[in-house]
Amino acid sequence: MKKYSTMREKPNVNRRGFIKSSAFVAAGAFIGTNVHANHLKRIGEEPVIIRRQLGKTDIELPIVSFGVMRSDNAALVKSAFEMGFVHFDTAHGYQEGKNETMLGELFKEYPRSSFVLATKVYPDDIDRRTGEMGPGATKESILSRFETSLKRLQMKYVDIVYLHGVSARNVALAPQMLEAFTEIKKQGKARYIGMSTHQNEADVIQAAVDSNFYDVVLTAINFKHAQAELIKEKIALAAKKGIGIVAMKTMAGAFMDQERQRPIDCSAALKWVLQDKNVHTSIPGIVAYDQMIQNFSVMNNLELTEEEKAHLEEARLVAGLYCDGCKQCRHDCKKHLPVNEYMRAFMYVYGYRHFEKAYAVLDDLNNPGNPCEDCSGCTVNCPKGFHVAERIADVTRLSGVPRDLIV
């Protein structure tokens, strides 16, 4: 696989001019069809894209990549690829496999060395409430899911395969997990091994450092995360050891309010994450053309304007939609409910309008309705200020909708 050509970071290029040139790409003003970021050209001009090396891997990437989870539009992904996006991130479970299938159909038309693709797999029998493994969390269940993913993708290998959704150190270091991914890598079916984490991120990143096994970590990190500074410390430690760092959940729920009247400035949120050079790339979800243009523009200039700084400060002060997954609520709750999972489903509904993912989260919890219905009063004191019982009652209405209307 070729190594992408290096371009120095150039933070002082005019941002407005760069957005304009980005629009020219999509409109077809760039020359060529099977174009890639390192040879994307406009007449008399080459766009500047900040790139970073992904740890000790031989992969060098633009700092913004494409999170495909919510996208079912192959034309949008193709436009992103031709605009200059290099890295595309999916997972075994996204859209019940249709996400991987779409990417397989699209990228079979392109040289395998012209893009970087990551997918994620998880074992059977992981308890959503605790993050711990049951007896069914076997090496075989990982290998079976991964083989299915490869078939959907119509590829002989992926660039990165992640152990998906790790929130407990012992899962990250479980012998059967390490054996499964060692076998995948030895067979040449994945170039690099990683793990993703949405909760307890600092401990999971530390586990990756201690393991001497993982090449890449995909972690939640954003300006509203209560543990952001601790996570950044662990990111620095991992990067120093040569582990590639990919950021997700950078948009912190996308809106400050349930009514979706106060959007978070996604460019500012993305810049905040990427100003840390230990973060090598990011995978914000993209479902629309304007989001693609906005995210692409950030690749050129990471300097926050005074207006953007003020916006982030304002957004920090409101409860918003993003749950850190701190799990303090589990101790407060009389029923010891996995409140953080309900809050995640709530964010998917009201922040991202991703009903399918919210439905899947609720389905994994095996709760057919509102579990707070018979409580006389809520004992949870959320550090974020969420009205937990109200949000659970709201989002669990989704469980009553027939599955075929959602998926």
What residues have CB less than 8 Å from 297, skipping those under 6 apart? 15, 18, 19, 22, 267
pLDDT at 21 over 50: no
Residue 35 has pLDDT above 80, yes or no: no
Per-residue model confidence (pLDDT) at position 387: 93
Region 89-98: what's the mean pLDDT? 95
Q: At a CB cut-off of 8 Å and minimum separation 6, what does 282 contact?
A: 63, 64, 65, 246, 247, 248, 250, 270, 273, 274
When pLDDT is averaged across residues 38-67 and rounded to a whole number, the result is 78
73 vs 13, residue with greater confidence:
73
pLDDT, residue 221, reads: 97
- Tell me what the mean pLDDT of segment 265-270 comes to: 96
d(C-alpha 99, C-alpha 90), whole Å:
7
Low-confidence winner among 69-73, 97-101, 206-210 (lowest mean pLDDT): 69-73
Amino acid 130: pLDDT: 76
Distance CA 90, CA 390 (A): 32
pLDDT at 240 over 50: yes
- Nearest Cα to 16, choosing from 274, 266, 272, 300? 300
- Rounded to the nearest 5 degrees, what angle is found at the Cα of 313, between the Cα atoms of 296 and 345? 70
Query: Three-state DSSP class for 308?
Result: helix
Residue 120 to residue 84: CA distance in whole angstroms: 23
Say how far apart CA 34 and CA 244 lie, in whole Å.
27
Please report the pLDDT score of residue 165 as a whole number. 93
7 pLDDT tier (thresholds 50, 70, 90):
very low
Q: Residue 107: pLDDT above 80?
A: yes
Q: Are 218 and 280 in contact (CB under 8 A)?
A: no
pTM, two decimals, is 0.86
- Strand segments (E) across 140-279: 158-163, 190-197, 216-220, 244-248
In angstroms, the CA 329 to CA 383 distance is: 9
Token pair of 37 as six digits: 């970021």
Higher pLDDT, 70 or 182: 182
Say yes or no to pLDDT of 215 above 70.
yes
**Cα distance between residue 201 and residue 208, in whole Å:** 11
DSSP annotation of 69 reads T
pLDDT at 210 over 80: yes
pLDDT per residue as tens digits for the range 279-336: 999 999 999 999 999 999 999 899 999 999 999 999 999 999 999 888 888 888 998 8
C-alpha–C-alpha distance, residues 292 and 285, integer Å: 9
Sequence-distant (6+) residues with CB within 8 A of 52 are 60, 61, 63, 277, 280, 281
Residue 9 has pLDDT above 80, yes or no: no
Give the pLDDT confidence score for residue 4 in this predicted structure: 34
Please write the tens of the pLDDT for every residue from 337-374. 999 999 999 999 999 888 988 998 898 888 778 999 99
Say whether pLDDT at 45 is over 60. Answer: no
Residue 43 has pLDDT above 60, yes or no: no
Residues in CB range of 377: below 8 A, 6 or more apart:
none
Percentages (nearest 5) of helix, strand, coil residues in the chain: 40, 15, 45
Is residue 252 helix, strand or coil? coil
32, pLDDT greater than 60: no
What are the DSSP calls for 128-168, one per residue? Answer: TTT--B-TT--HHHHHHHHHHHHHHHT-S-EEEEEE-S--S
CA distance 270 to 293: 13
pLDDT of residue 327: 82
Determine which of 44-53, 61-70, 203-212, 383-392 has the lowest per-residue pLDDT on average: 44-53
Within 8 A by CB and 6+ apart from 387, the residues are none
Rounded to the nearest 10 degrees, the angle between the axes of helix 15-27 and helix 74-83 is: 130
Percent of the chain with pLDDT over 70: 88
Tell whether the model's pLDDT for residue 14 goes beyond 70.
no
pLDDT at 18: 36
Q: What's the mean per-residue pLDDT of the chain?
A: 87
